[in-house]
Structure 1
Amino acid sequence: MRGSVHSKGSLLLTAWRAPVARPTMDIDLAGKTNNELEDIRSLVGEVCEFATEPDGIEFTAASIEVQRIKEDAEYEGVRVRFNGALAKARIPMQIDIGFEDVIVPRPVEIEYPAMLEFPPPVLMAYPKETVVAEKLEALTVLGLLNSRIKDYYDLALLARLYPFDGNLLAEAIRSTFRHRGTAIDATPVGLTEAFSADPARAVQWRAFVRRSRFESESGLDLDLDEIVAQVRRFASAPLSATAREDAFDLKWRLGGPWA
């Protein structure tokens, strides 16, 4: 399965050793195979039956259910549900697989941290640049209607913890927006005060923080306007440069600024 899918989504924050990873209810993957339901069922079934170190968890291939998601969207995906078990505890699993997206600069090999003293699994995954580019494209398209509050958390965390090469990030932005048919906006509504001041979004953000149980020491239990300001500080320069079709030769060091 390793060459057939690439890991993406919030689970990558754990792989990148982020000290404060948000909880998630599913596994997000990018499919590099065809999206026929029976082929996906077979692929996940092989993983369920793959022999690993005896960690006590069992996955039941016979329980696999597959269905299409985003039926009317340009980029159709597949949702897979199946059951796991640890002793008498039932563990419902969900995998969402998207298709057709571009990955810039290229997929990277990661070691996913193991909870027990077993060798870490080695996976192919999105680079950080594509993660950022896809989230910026989503907040550009959705504007004031954006309810993907978790994306703002992810972007703020990425900006705080990791360095970025401006040229690589700009290329990921250009490629992602072009592939999805989205015009690059130097100042998308989703990064303005009009968005962060919206009462409905503020309520969603507070609910997200409460569910996620962030510690005050993490610096991420801020008001939405502060989080949006952090993301704007990180994203405005590369968005502006790519919107003008200019080169972006700057570097982002931990916490910024671009220099």
Structure 2
Amino acid sequence: MRRASKHPAATSLVLRGSLVTRALCGQGRPAADVDYLISGPFDAVRLAEFATEIARLPDDRVIMDVVSTDVIWAETAFPGLRVQLLGQDLRGDAQMFQVDFAYGDPLGQPPALLRIPEVGPVLACQAETLWAWKLHGLVEFGPGRWRAKDLYDLHLLGTRVALNHHLLPALVALAFRSRDTALDTLDDVRTRAAWGMSSSNARKWRAFQRTYGVDLDVLEARQSVRVQLERLLPALLLQELRVEAQIK
């Protein structure tokens, strides 16, 4: 990230994901990778060259090499490139990690500078946009297939960040519309008493807690998200009606 911020094309990169959540909330799960949204048409060859250019920029803490690059989500309208890198610090300790570059997700808000520890200010998606994307992620894979990290991040953003609720309806509608997902897919998480209570869901949450050291009950996380949704719902339905009227 330090290297990327020094690249002449740094303004084409917008940081998103768990690193942004941690910086905004002051806590969160450790980042497994670095996630960027990148502007411009998708070009896997040029993007691989771009990643290599970033890795070769000087840094006084870590030596870095690109190990592999792979196109991801190629079958969708949101392709990307996953870059596996090997980093080695000045003591000789080495570690593999990955950076994902994604295309196509619409930004309903302009990116803003966000200070990342040990990196400095970087362009990042704003909290409301991240919350909208996370909400879509919660229903993206269908009933019962929600990801614990999405529920947890929604809880953190909703309870630790002063979200602008005037902006959220349009941003949520945009996130769902861009992925051809109906807003009524939220009904299950909003209203079903047994949501998240199956044995498989309980195992999923416990595994997430163990992995990331999370001391939060799934019901507490669910309730905080439901409170946010109920606050949002009237304006969200109105936003949907406006969009349908424009389409017609």
Category of TM-score, reference length = shorter chain: 0.7 to 0.9
Matches within 5 A, 1:53-92: 54-55=60-61, 57-60=62-65, 63-86=66-89, 87-92=91-96
Q: Deviations over 1:159-206 (max 9, x none)?
A: 111112222111211222222222212843234433211211111111
Cross-structure match for 1:133: 132
TM-score scaled by structure 2? 0.85
Q: Which of the residues 13, 25, 28 maps onto 2:32?
A: 25
Q: 1:6 to 1:24 in 2, by over 3 A?
A: same
Offset of 1:36 from its aligned partner?
1.9
2:64 counterpart letter in structure 1 = F
Asked whether the equivalents of residues 41 and 64 of structure 1 are also in contact (C-alpha less than 8 Å), the reply is no
Offset of 1:137 from its aligned partner?
1.5
Say whether 1:210 aligns with 2:210.
yes
Cross-structure match for 2:246: none
Structure 2 Cα separation of the partners of residues 82 and 47 of structure 1: 11
Structure 2 Cα separation of the partners of residues 13 and 181 of structure 1: 25
Matches within 5 A, 1:1-259: 1-16=9-24, 18-52=25-59, 54-55=60-61, 57-60=62-65, 63-86=66-89, 87-114=91-118, 120-185=119-184, 187-191=186-190, 192-214=192-214, 221-245=215-239
Asked whether the equivalents of residues 26 and 95 of structure 1 are also in contact (C-alpha less than 8 Å), the reply is yes
Offset of 1:27 from its aligned partner?
1.0
Q: 1:3 to 1:19 in 2, by over 3 A?
A: closer
Asked whether the equivalents of residues 189 and 195 of structure 1 are also in contact (C-alpha less than 8 Å), the reply is yes
Structure 2 Cα separation of the partners of residues 132 and 109 of structure 1: 17
TM-score scaled by structure 1? 0.81
Q: Which moved more, 1:181-190 or 1:102-111?
A: 181-190
* Other structure's SS at 1:29 match: strand
Structure 2 Cα separation of the partners of residues 125 and 239 of structure 1: 27
Asked whether the equivalents of residues 23 and 116 of structure 2 are also in contact (C-alpha less than 8 Å), the reply is yes
Q: Which moved more, 1:176-185 or 1:7-16?
A: 176-185
Offset of 1:20 from its aligned partner?
2.4
Structure 2 Cα separation of the partners of residues 36 and 27 of structure 1: 19
Q: Deviations over 1:202-247 (max 9, x none)?
A: 1111110111113xxxxxx232122111111112321442123389
Q: 1:140 to 1:14 in 2, by over 3 A?
A: closer
Cross-structure match for 1:256: none
Offset of 1:97 from its aligned partner?
1.7
Q: 1:82 to 1:187 in 2, by over 3 A?
A: closer
Aligned residues: 231
Asked whether the equivalents of residues 45 and 64 of structure 1 are also in contact (C-alpha less than 8 Å), the reply is no
Structure 2 Cα separation of the partners of residues 39 and 239 of structure 1: 42
Cross-structure match for 1:257: none
Q: Which moved more, 1:3-12 or 1:103-112?
A: 103-112
* Other structure's SS at 1:185 match: helix
Asked whether the equivalents of residues 186 and 240 of structure 1 are also in contact (C-alpha less than 8 Å), the reply is no
Q: Deviations over 1:104-152 (max 9, x none)?
A: 22111112111xxxxx432111111111111112223333232411011
